[in-house]
Amino acid sequence: MYRCLHPLWQGPGGCFPRHLGTRGSWYCRVCWRGRHQREARRPRRCSLVCLISYLTACFKTDANQTCSTPECKECKFCKSGKTNLCGKIRATQGQGVMPDGTSRFKCKGKDLLHFMGTSTFSQYTVLADISVVAVQPDAPMDRTCLLGCGITTGYGAARITAKVEEGSNIAVFGAGCVGLSVVQGAVVNKAGKIIVVDVNPAKAEWAKKFGATDFVNPNDLKGQTIVEKLIEMTDGGCDYTFDCTGNVNVMRAALEACHKGWGESIVIGVAAAGQEISTRPFQLVTGRVWKGCAFGGVKGRTQLPGLVSDYLSGALKVDEFITHRKNLGEINSAFEIMKQGDCIRAVVDARTL
């Protein structure tokens, strides 16, 4: 079992043991209608998903994408048209159990809690139907799995949450998968200056590869803060900034680097449990806006298939994010690699141990 590093993995109250994994692509083996009727299909690959007890309809395709941000299309949140958050299974998902309050995983006779409604670090998993997205059958699952979180989160933050306008100046804090995906979304929306901020100098090349116009390493600044530098580069401040670090101090800097009167700062990174953000009220009184988003504001079942189509047509970069590949039995080394500066995304293939 890999030692948990990501703040989300701590779960509500740090509940363990837990079956981890937030994103994945699968081929559906068995779909259940209600609790009794089932339709079985012979799997085309070894990486499968079993959808049990809560399916109301079988999916028309064997290719499916897991989504930790479900979409029921029936709850108050889904019907509001104001958010991609869904309230139908939010409480039980947060508790690490299925909608009926039970776990579907066991190890040595002991229950394992689910994780973010997906638990994808395995060859088999169990999840609610509203957490599964049917995608095109020809979609390569070992690539589109990245659309289950990182790429979609950053890309959607730029295009859906912020709605970056043509010619606007933006700054992205953190040049990992999410940050580079923000860059990709800003490029599509024809932003003006796209400034990437990261303390790792090796990320400069990655930033330019995805379309950034500038790269700033705060450690290289002499007698100047990153906020002062960005205000200088953008004639008064950025129209949009994006925090992709989860560091509350960076979140404050991102807000204060926004332009007075209209600048918006989007919080994407997840801070550690118990962390709080702060700034001087005057920053908000003078028109700056602090916003947050989950999964980039993308509605999983409604909009994710469109992103898969964009990838298949060449309009969305996905392959370029994959720097390492590992088998499921090598998952611990995959996480160690993620700590290194030369890794953007490591894909773990559950078809081989």
Least confident of 58-67, 71-80, 153-162, 302-311: 58-67
End-to-end CA distance of the chain: 15
Question: What band does 342 get if pLDDT is binned at 50, 70 and 90?
Answer: confident
**Rounded Cα gap, residues 4 and 10, in angstroms:** 7
pLDDT at 39: 34
Cα torsion through 197, 195, 247, 161, rounded to 10 = -160
C-beta separation of 179 from 199 below 8 A: no
* Numbered ranges of CATH 3.90.180.10 in the chain: 7-148+318-349
* Numbered ranges of CATH 3.40.50.720 in the chain: 151-296
Question: What band does 11 get if pLDDT is binned at 50, 70 and 90?
Answer: very low
Give the mean pLDDT of 52-72. Answer: 62
Question: What band does 62 get if pLDDT is binned at 50, 70 and 90?
Answer: low
pLDDT in tens, 191-212: 999 999 999 999 999 999 999 9
Question: What band does 18 get if pLDDT is binned at 50, 70 and 90?
Answer: low
**Rounded Cα gap, residues 169 and 319, in angstroms:** 27
pLDDT of 318 > 50? The answer is: yes
pLDDT of 4 > 60? The answer is: no
pLDDT of 130 > 70? The answer is: yes
pLDDT at 19: 55
pLDDT of 310 > 80? The answer is: yes
Please give the structure tokens belonging to residue 304. 């994710």
Q: Which is more confident, 65 or 307?
A: 307
Q: Which is more confident, 304 or 61?
A: 304
**Which amino acid, one-letter code, is at 100?**
D
pLDDT at 8: 46
The phi-psi region of residue 125 (left if phi > 0; otherwise alpha if psi is between -120 and 50; otherwise beta) is beta
pLDDT at 41: 37
Q: Which is more confident, 255 or 66?
A: 255
Residue 209: closest CA among 239, 172, 178, 175: 175
pLDDT of 160 > 70? The answer is: yes
H-type alpha helices, 34-176: 76-80, 90-95, 141-144, 150-156
Give the mean pLDDT of 317-331. Answer: 94
Give the number of other Cβ atoms within 10 Å of residue 119's Cβ: 26
Question: What band does 32 get if pLDDT is binned at 50, 70 and 90?
Answer: very low
Superfamily of domain 151-296: NAD(P)-binding Rossmann-like Domain (3.40.50.720)
Question: What band does 20 get if pLDDT is binned at 50, 70 and 90?
Answer: low
Give the mean pLDDT of 270-295. Answer: 96
pLDDT of 14 > 70? The answer is: no
Least confident of 17-31, 94-108, 121-135: 17-31
pLDDT at 17: 63
pLDDT of 10 > 50? The answer is: no
- Type and span of the H or E element at 41: none
Mean pLDDT: which of 5-14, 32-41, 296-305 is highest?
Answer: 296-305
CATH class label, 7-148+318-349:
alpha beta
**What is the percentage of the chain residues whose pLDDT exceeds 70?**
82
pLDDT of 119 > 90? The answer is: no
Give the number of other Cβ atoms within 10 Å of residue 208's Cβ: 15
What mean pLDDT, rounded, does the chain reach? 85
Give the mean pLDDT of 210-224. Answer: 97
pLDDT at 338: 86
